[in-house]
Amino acid sequence: MDFKRYLKEYPNKEGRFGKFGGAYLPEQLVPAFEEITEAYLTICHSSQFINELRRIRREFQGRPTPVYHCERLSRKIGNCQIYLKREDLNHSGAHKLNHCMGEGLLAKYMGKKKLIAETGAGQHGVALATAAAYFGLECEIHMGEVDIAKEHPNVVRMKLLGAHLVPVTRGLKTLKEAVDSAFEAYLKDPVNSIYCIGSVVGPHPFPMMVRDFQHVVGVEAREQFLEMTGELPDAVAACVGGGSNAMGIFSGFIQDSDVKLIGVEPAGRSLKMGDHAASLSYGKPGVLHGFRSYLLQDEKGEPAPVYSIASGLDYPGSGPEQCMLKDKKRVEYTTVNDEECLEAFYKLSRFEGIIPALESAHAVAHAFKYAAQHKRESILVNLSGRGDKDIDFVVDNYGIGEKYAG
């Protein structure tokens, strides 16, 4: 497959990435999603929209975020050089604000009054609440009770920013159920509200739209890495739940055939059903939340229960674009378990002074493995978020990481 025109050719007009994606919607939502698609395609090439978004990114978000060389960890592991794209330094603490500000600007253009969304780890919820406050819009965030208990700092932040938090008490009380709940709320009033999906998932146009808003990460990272080193990295890695941070950075390097792209999924406690959320590694094609993707399924073909130590990764499917890139073999997908994730969390904190989000720590953990096996190479990791939200949960359950001090 020729990737030179990839971003212009995918998705197609029906929102499909090969056999994945599309828009499987209840009849009453079809006009609403057609309205969103038409509005986005109208303004995405508008110089006024682009210039306003660039101003917001520069003056409000603090972009560009830097690329950082982990010198101490690189020396400790071997001669492979580890670099981080510091999306943890993006305003609100994660990459999520990149698409939330774009979605908020789109909502203003469409005359919407309310933003509705789900959140897992709370990063998307905080980012959308931030966007709502900036644009003067109402904000309603649906979050599973399990994640509310785990991610208390982000819960407080959402409330401080003025969001109305809706606890979700059904099923496993995590991300999938939060998506279900948010969709139901949006169904009640699609005229005055817009559902701002938190990743490159959902019905068309959201996988395309979120990728486009996250593309800035890859564009910046490629330019910065070339300026720092005079060459491109040998590999680029990112954690994958839905896949927004991964598609953001991968899209900047997808045309560079010599750069390996690596998506890192959560292997959780074990590879038994219900103990992990590695849908690209172990799922089968299926439809969930209005789009077709690789999906973890039980024996009846229903979405399987999933788990990850990182609340932002415990989703039973992945973005349709990730699924196509897996089939095209442009992206390699691998897994990291909870123990490896925690080791990376502690080591990055102690050796580089950077506390990562547990989601991002999955990608850092894979970088450690890669560095040990590929001497004299380089790997760039998208550090998608900071770990402020996770420190209480980690310390209460696993301690402060003394065994990783040396």
**Tokens standing for 311?**
């609340």
Sheet holding 235-239, edge to edge: 67-69, 81-86, 378-383, 235-239, 260-268, 331-337
Domains for the chain: give ranges and CATH numbers: 17-58+96-206 (3.40.50.1100), 64-93+215-404 (3.40.50.1100)
Quick check: 189 and 36 in contact, CB under 8 A? no
CB of 230 within 8 A of CB of 185? no
**Which are the contacts of 406, defined by CB distance < 8 A and separation ≥ 6?**
none
pLDDT for residue 406:
67
Tens of pLDDT along the chain (406 residues)?
A: 889 899 999 999 999 999 999 999 999 999 999 999 999 999 999 999 999 999 999 999 999 999 999 999 999 998 899 999 999 999 999 999 999 999 999 999 999 999 999 999 999 999 999 999 999 999 999 999 999 999 999 999 999 999 999 999 999 999 999 999 999 999 999 999 999 999 999 999 999 999 999 999 999 999 999 999 999 999 999 999 999 999 999 999 999 999 999 999 999 999 999 999 999 999 999 999 999 999 999 999 999 999 999 999 999 999 999 999 999 999 999 999 999 999 999 999 999 999 999 999 999 999 999 999 999 999 999 999 999 999 999 999 999 999 887 6
The set of long-range contacts for 38-47, using a CB threshold of 8 Å and a minimum separation of 24, is 39/106, 39/109, 39/110, 40/106, 40/205, 40/209, 41/205, 43/106, 43/109, 44/212
Please tell me the distance from the alpha carbon of residue 194 to that of residue 36, in angstroms, as a whole number: 8
* Residue 8 neighbours by CB under 8 Å, 6+ apart: none
| Helix (DSSP H) and strand (DSSP E) numbers for the chain | 16, 14
Q: Are 269 and 338 in contact (CB under 8 A)?
A: yes
pTM over 0.75: yes
pLDDT at residue 404, as a whole number: 82
Query: What backbone torsions phi and psi does residue 97 show, to the nearest 5 degrees?
Result: -65, -25
As annotated, the active-site residues are 70, 95
State the Cα–Cα distance between residues 269 and 140, nearest whole angstrom.
Answer: 32
